[in-house]
Structure 1
């Protein structure tokens, strides 16, 4: 079983853009959502899709199970989404031995930019780039699950800046 260990931050400046090494267009939706678990479907660049189950209450570490599925199946599952389908562009930005994923949201969450870094253990201490703002690790409001299922109608419910 895989573990997802990550920290999450709001993004304060565009200093990351020049260092981005790749970008992908993501659409994702939740087909099941509970306090301690979720089932998500994601389409990447319209070409591949994954079904992901996450289980756990920890603010930094959760069990994660991911499976490739046909894009057509993912698109059909999205029609049964709880809440909204999240639209975002994900950029990969290397920084001092870690790779940050910077998500620039579109749709109802346009203006929100979140960076996260995956780690091998909770004791890892990734150097923090200067373009990061406030840490939001463990703040459920900034989870994709909450953005899709709870905060989709009031774009002012979340601070979008650091």
Structure 2
């Protein structure tokens, strides 16, 4: 079983922008009760991800590549609107990969940095462009941003 251990932070300033180019992500969520099913298209690749319930900053995660045409059809027919569209910038610092998501559309103006950890107690050095820790705030989960977009807060 895969496990995702992740912390999320708001991003401040623009010092991160020159550290890595961004890729356009388009993703949506298939309605479920106890888990999260995400469909994602990144460039010309499609993915399906199933995530379990969060336990602190950890949760079970299973991700598989699927044909991009299947992913596109699922986004258009199975996923609830609005879809999440964002540019993801992957920045390597101090042995960790920071994923900075710059949201578009109904979540425009929101910029979040996520970092996956080996364990929940792992110490990390925070770059100067990292702001408030929002790891435990469900408003910032991508699956919730489809239900309550940032521009409506």
Report the TM-score when normalising by structure 1: 0.89
More moved, 74-83 vs 115-124 = 74-83
The 2-side partners of 1:156 and 1:31 are apart by 22
Which structure's residues are more often strand, by fraction? Answer: 1
- Give 5+ residue unaligned stretches, structure 2: none
The 1-side partners of 2:126 and 2:4 are apart by 19
Query: Which residue does 2:68 correspond to in 1?
Result: 71
Q: Does 1:53 pair with 2:87?
A: no
Q: Is the 8 A contact 1:93 1:102 kept in 2?
A: yes
List, as ranges, runs of 4+ consecutive aligned residues in structure 1 with deviation greater than 4 Å: none
Query: Which residue does 1:10 correspond to in 2?
Result: 10
- Cα deviation, 1:22-46, whole Å, max 9, x if unaligned, reads 4211000001243x4110100001x
Alignment: residue pair count: 152
Q: Is the 8 A contact 1:141 1:147 kept in 2?
A: yes
- Give 5+ residue unaligned stretches, structure 1: 158-162
Q: 1:82 Cα deviation (Å)?
A: 1.8
CA-atom RMSD, angstroms? 1.3
The 2-side partners of 1:2 and 1:8 are apart by 19
The 2-side partners of 1:88 and 1:77 are apart by 18
Query: Which residue does 1:108 correspond to in 2?
Result: 106
Alignment of 1:12-161 (within 5 A): 12-20=12-20, 22-34=21-33, 36-45=34-43, 47-79=44-76, 80-148=78-146, 150-152=147-149, 155-157=151-153
The 2-side partners of 1:60 and 1:33 are apart by 20
- Cα deviation, 1:42-85, whole Å, max 9, x if unaligned, reads 0001x001000000222300000111111111111112212311
- SS of 1:84's partner is coil
